[in-house]
A and B are shown apart, each in its own frame.
Chain A
Amino acid sequence: MGQLVRRPEGLIGVVILTIFFVLAVVPVLFVGPLQTAVTATGSRLEAPSAAHIFGTDELGRDMLNLTVHGARISLSIGLLATFVTVALGVVVGIVAGFVGGFADSGLMRVTDFFLVIPTFVLALILTPIIQDVVGSAATEVFGIRMSLVVIIFVIGITSWSSTARIIRSQTLSLRERAFVDRARVVGSSNGHIMRRHILPNVINLIVANAVLTFAGAVLLETTLSFVGLGDPFQPSWGQLLNAAEEVGAATLGAWWYFVPPGACIVLVVFAFTLLGTALDDLLNPRRRMRR
Chain B
Amino acid sequence: MKVGYLGRRLASAFVTILLIALINFLLFRAMPGSPERILMRNTPNVTEEMKQAARVRWGLDKPVFPDQLIAYFQSTARGDLGFSFAARGAPVLDVISARIWPTIILFGLGELLAIIGGLALGAYTGWKRGGWVDQVGNGVSLVLYATPYFLLGMAFLLIFGLALRWFPTYGMLTAGAQYHSIWDRAADFGSHLVLPLVVVAIGLIGQYAIIMRSSIIETLSEEYVTTARAMGLRDSRVLRHHALPNALLPTVSLIAINLGYIVAGAITLEVVFNWPGLGTLTVEALTARDYPVLQGVFLLLCVSVVLANLAADLVYAMLDPRVRT
Please report A residues at the B interface, Cβ cutoff 8 Å. Answer: 113, 116-122, 124-126, 128-130, 132-133, 215, 219-220, 222-223, 226-229, 241, 244-245, 249-251, 253, 255, 258-259, 262, 265-267, 269-270, 273-274
Q: Restricting to B127-153, which residues have a CB under 8 Å from any CB of A?
A: 142-143, 145-148, 150-151
Q: Are A245 and B154 neighbours in the complex by a CB distance under 8 Å?
A: yes
Q: Using Cβ atoms and an 8 Å threshold, which residues of chain B touch A253?
A: 158, 162-163
A11 to chain B, nearest CB (A): 15
Closest to B147 in A: A266
Q: Are A118 and B302 neighbours in the complex by a CB distance under 8 Å?
A: yes
Please tell me which one of the listed residues A118, A133, A229, A249 contacts residue B263 in the complex, with CB atoms under 8 A apart: A118
Q: Are A250 and B309 neighbours in the complex by a CB distance under 8 Å?
A: no
Given contacts A124-B286, A251-B161, A269-B146, 19 further A-B contacts (CB under 8 A): A117-B305, A118-B260, A118-B302, A121-B264, A121-B298, A124-B294, A129-B31, A129-B291, A219-B146, A227-B271, A228-B287, A241-B150, A241-B151, A244-B154, A250-B162, A267-B146, A269-B145, A270-B142, A270-B143
| Total A-B residue contacts, Cβ distance less than 8 Å | 134
Q: Using Cβ atoms and an 8 Å threshold, which residues of chain B touch A122?
A: 298, 302
Q: Are B169 and A223 neighbours in the complex by a CB distance under 8 Å?
A: no
Alpha-carbon distance A270/B145, docked complex (angstroms): 8
Q: Which 6 A-B pairs have the closest CB atoms?
A: A120-B264, A269-B146, A270-B146, A118-B260, A250-B157, A262-B151
Q: Using Cβ atoms and an 8 Å threshold, which residues of chain A touch B272?
A: 245, 250
Closest to A110 in B: B19
Q: Using Cβ atoms and an 8 Å threshold, which residues of chain A touch B4?
A: none
Q: Are A121 and B170 neighbours in the complex by a CB distance under 8 Å?
A: no
Given A222-B148, A258-B151, A269-B146, A116 and B306 contact (CB-CB distance below 8 Å): yes
Alpha-carbon distance A122/B267, docked complex (angstroms): 13
Q: Are A266 and B146 neighbours in the complex by a CB distance under 8 Å?
A: yes
Alpha-carbon distance A241/B272, docked complex (angstroms): 11
Alpha-carbon distance A244/B306, docked complex (angstroms): 35
B interface residues, tally (CB under 8 Å): 51
B227 at the interface (CB under 8 A from A): no
B99 at the interface (CB under 8 A from A): no
Alpha-carbon distance A223/B150, docked complex (angstroms): 9
Alpha-carbon distance A163/B120, docked complex (angstroms): 33
**Please, could you name 27 A-B residue pairs with CB atoms under 8 Å apart, sorted by A?**
A116-B16, A116-B305, A117-B302, A118-B260, A120-B263, A120-B264, A121-B264, A121-B301, A124-B294, A125-B298, A133-B31, A226-B268, A226-B271, A227-B268, A227-B283, A227-B286, A241-B150, A245-B154, A245-B272, A249-B154, A250-B161, A251-B157, A251-B162, A258-B154, A269-B147, A270-B146, A273-B145
Please tell me which one of the listed residues A133, A266, A267 contacts residue B151 in the complex, with CB atoms under 8 A apart: A266
Given A116-B305, A118-B263, A132 and B37 contact (CB-CB distance below 8 Å): yes
A54 to chain B, nearest CB (A): 16
Q: Using Cβ atoms and an 8 Å threshold, which residues of chain B touch A126?
A: 27
Q: Using Cβ atoms and an 8 Å threshold, which residues of chain B touch A219?
A: 146, 148
Please report B residues at the A interface, Cβ cutoff 8 Å. Answer: 16, 19-20, 27-28, 31-34, 37-38, 41, 142-143, 145-148, 150-151, 154-155, 157-158, 161-163, 169-170, 260-261, 263-264, 267-268, 271-272, 282-283, 286-287, 289, 291, 294-295, 298, 301-302, 305-306, 309
Q: Using Cβ atoms and an 8 Å threshold, which residues of chain A touch B31?
A: 129-130, 133
Alpha-carbon distance A227/B142, docked complex (angstroms): 24
Q: Using Cβ atoms and an 8 Å threshold, which residues of chain B touch A269?
A: 145-147
Q: Are A128 and B286 neighbours in the complex by a CB distance under 8 Å?
A: yes
A246 to chain B, nearest CB (A): 10
Q: Using Cβ atoms and an 8 Å threshold, which residues of chain A touch B261?
A: 118
Alpha-carbon distance A262/B150, docked complex (angstroms): 10
Alpha-carbon distance A241/B162, docked complex (angstroms): 18
Please tell me which one of the listed residues A132, A241, A245 contacts residue B38 in the complex, with CB atoms under 8 A apart: A132
Which of the listed residues B28, B263, B268, B305 has the most CB atoms from chain A within 10 Å of its own CB? B268
Please tell me which one of the listed residues B32, B155, B287, B301 contacts residue A133 in the complex, with CB atoms under 8 A apart: B32
Q: Using Cβ atoms and an 8 Å threshold, which residues of chain B touch A113?
A: 16, 19
Which of the listed residues A125, A223, A265 has the most CB atoms from chain B within 10 Å of its own CB? A125
Q: Are A132 and B286 neighbours in the complex by a CB distance under 8 Å?
A: no
Closest to A267 in B: B146
Alpha-carbon distance A270/B138, docked complex (angstroms): 13
Q: Using Cβ atoms and an 8 Å threshold, which residues of chain A touch B147?
A: 262, 265-266, 269
Alpha-carbon distance A229/B163, docked complex (angstroms): 30
B134 to chain A, nearest CB (A): 17
Q: Are B294 and A125 neighbours in the complex by a CB distance under 8 Å?
A: yes
A165 to chain B, nearest CB (A): 14
